[in-house]
Amino acid sequence: MKKAKKYIKFIVVPLILITMVFNLTACQEKVLQQVDGEAFVLGTYGQIRVFAPSQSKGNKAIEKAFQRIRDIENTMSTSIENSDVYNINQNAGQAAVKVSDDTLYVIEKGIEYKNITKGNFNITLGSLIELWGIGKDWQRIPAQEEIIEAQKHIDINQLEVEGNNVKINDPNMLMDLGGIAKGYAVDEAVKVLKANGIESGFVNLGGDIFVFGEKPDQSPWYIGIQKPELNSSSVMARIAMSNESIVSSGDYERYFIEEDVRYHHIIDPATGYPSDSGVISVTILSDKAIDGDVLSTAVFILGLEEGLALIETLEDVEVAIITSDKLVHISSGLDDKIEILDKAYRMAN
């Protein structure tokens, strides 16, 4: 009798447990709800979508993620008074500034990428970026002498980092994290969502995107590549992906036009002018959006050959480069992932 009881326990209890787990997963799949949030952050349109057990849990996670993004903006903006970057720039040539661990991480990444990108990505390009003021109310074509003068103050070796203390030694040099902070913010927002129990969704900060987990209906995530044309919001290709980031840079987003010439926001440190490499759009796939943010800008400046060559040397990074002749050039790992949707664009290789 005793033995039989034990036997029943051994069989019945696990059976009940297994059934419960099955029911739970079935329930969860049914009840996961799509929750969307949007906000204007880091000077761009921010969008977060999650699949959550309830609207309120989804909204709560999204709100926390946006808060994290705002915190990053408040420490890394060049214009927000008393941000770390604002303070570093105010104290250029005078004193070191103690910065947050976030800012330190992004600055150190930036320094690393200066070498990887052969100087084309430079977080101390502020003097040139301010001079052009693309997207700001003081945007204009600077005089050649002004450009030459500003170019004298973009030497990253003038940046001194000791622990969390950061100092710019050159009084005329300025830091600008505009090409890297957004990617970092995307990565951090995803961390916050996951820490709040979200298992799938995406974060999109003006084209810096991270997609994670699976959709409840198991259909693939398709992320579109925007048509690199003025005033166009349609998509020219799509990429199936998950658990990685996709970041695009182009010359069609922030610019001004004077006498039929378009001046955009990606500055070539070598010329001091908006880069003119024949590339009109760069899309990077990588494990982290911070890397995608930097590399999309850098490849844009490096141009097709050098840009493609750089990406082929980096592990787990892929690229789609669109040149002005509407040809799409991809790195070796992107072959079966990209699908062209607009017939005006063709695969080059």
Name the binder of 277 from ligand ADP, Mg ion, none, CB < 5-8 A by kind.
none
DSSP assignments along 181-211, one per residue: HHHHHHHHHHHHHHHTT--EEEEEETTEEEE
Joined tokens for residue 231: 């005033």
41 backbone dihedrals φ, ψ, rounded to 5°: -135, 150
The reply on whether position 102 binds Mg ion by CB under 5 A is: no
Contact criterion met (CB below 8 Å) for 321 and 275: no
Binding site for ligand ADP (CB under 6 A): 120-123, 125, 129, 176, 178-179, 207, 249, 253-254, 265-267, 269, 293, 296-297, 301
Name the binder of 126 from Mg ion, ligand ADP, none, CB < 5-8 A by kind.
none
CB 85 to ligand ADP: min, Å: 11
The reply on whether position 293 binds Mg ion by CB under 5 A is: yes
Choice between 201 and 272, CB closer to ligand ADP: 272
Choice between 198 and 298, CB closer to Mg ion: 298
The reply on whether position 187 binds Mg ion by CB under 5 A is: no
CB 109 to ligand ADP: min, Å: 12
Choice between 201 and 228, CB closer to ligand ADP: 228
Joined tokens for residue 35: 């929750």
CB 248 to ligand ADP: min, Å: 7
Q: What is the largest CA-CA distance in the chain?
A: 99
Choice between 176 and 318, CB closer to ligand ADP: 176
State how far the Cα of 58 lies from the Cα of 67, in Å rounded to an integer: 14
State how far the Cα of 276 lies from the Cα of 235, in Å rounded to an integer: 23
- Beta-bridge partner residues of 255: 264
CB 29 to Mg ion: min, Å: 35
Q: At a CB cut-off of 8 Å and minimum separation 6, what does 125 contact?
A: 154, 176, 267, 269
**Size, binding site for Mg ion by CB under 5 A:** 2
- Find the binding residues for Mg ion in span 227-256 (CB under 5 A): 249
Length of the chain: 349
- Beta-bridge partner residues of 283: 248, 320
Residue whose pair of structure tokens reads 């203390």 in the numeric block: 165
Choice between 249 and 331, CB closer to Mg ion: 249
Name the binder of 269 from Mg ion, ligand ADP, none, CB < 5-8 A by kind.
ligand ADP
State how far the Cα of 98 lies from the Cα of 239, in Å rounded to an integer: 41
CB 284 to Mg ion: min, Å: 9
Choice between 49 and 182, CB closer to ligand ADP: 182
